[in-house]
Amino acid sequence: MEDGYYRFLKRITKLRGNNPFLPRVHSVKVFKRKLGFDPYDRSYEFYFVAELEKLVPFKKIKLKARYAWYEKHIDAKRRKHGGADWCEEHESDLYASPHSRVTNKALKRANKMIKVVSRPVGFFHDAHLGNLMWRVQTTGMHVVFIDPIA
């Protein structure tokens, strides 16, 4: 199955939840269905269903909490942001772009894995704010890449 998201899920399933920036995958099941109604046509398509941990939409977390997380995990010497959401102004920091100042080892590993999974079959690293959610636990919250491959 040549699907970027499927490849991403299969790879992180093998990691068994060892990276806080990646979602915890409970299961990925592949199904096959027949195309069309012609009994002589043997064309099929494959699809999959993934069961992931429960996450919180990115914008549901208050701006102040997002700043605090960013300062702790990405940039302790946060630049002046002019009141803008750090995510909109500095989202490249999360994706370990060439302009990023990321020092967090788990974030670097997550980005490297995303690049490795997307490269061989013509997909690309598609991490952006729409592909982020929050893992919220009693010990705190954490940014999670949910669909960083297109």
The residue range of the domain holding 15 is: 4-145
124 within a domain of the structure (yes/no): yes
21 within a domain of the structure (yes/no): yes
62-106: pLDDT as tens digits: 888 887 887 777 765 555 544 444 555 555 566 655 556 666 788
Helix or strand or coil: residue 75? coil
The strand pairing partners of 134, in sequence order, are 56, 143
150 within a domain of the structure (yes/no): no
Spell out the residues 6+ positions from residue 150 whose beta carbon is closer than 8 angstroms to its own.
4, 123, 124, 126
Q: CA-to-CA distance for 131 and 16, rounded, in angstroms? A: 20
Q: CA-to-CA distance for 23 and 135, rounded, in angstroms? A: 8
Model's pTM, two decimal places? 0.76
Helix or strand or coil: residue 29? strand
107-137: pLDDT as tens digits: 888 888 888 887 766 777 777 778 889 999 8
**How many domains are contained in the chain?**
1
Contacts of range 137-142, beta carbons closer than 8 Å, 24 or more positions apart: 140/69, 141/56, 141/61, 141/65, 141/69, 142/20, 142/21, 142/69, 142/73
Q: Where does residue 130 fall: left (phi above 0), alpha (psi -120 to 50 degrees), or beta otherwise?
A: alpha
82 within a domain of the structure (yes/no): yes
23-57: pLDDT as tens digits: 999 999 999 988 888 888 888 888 999 999 999 99
121 within a domain of the structure (yes/no): yes
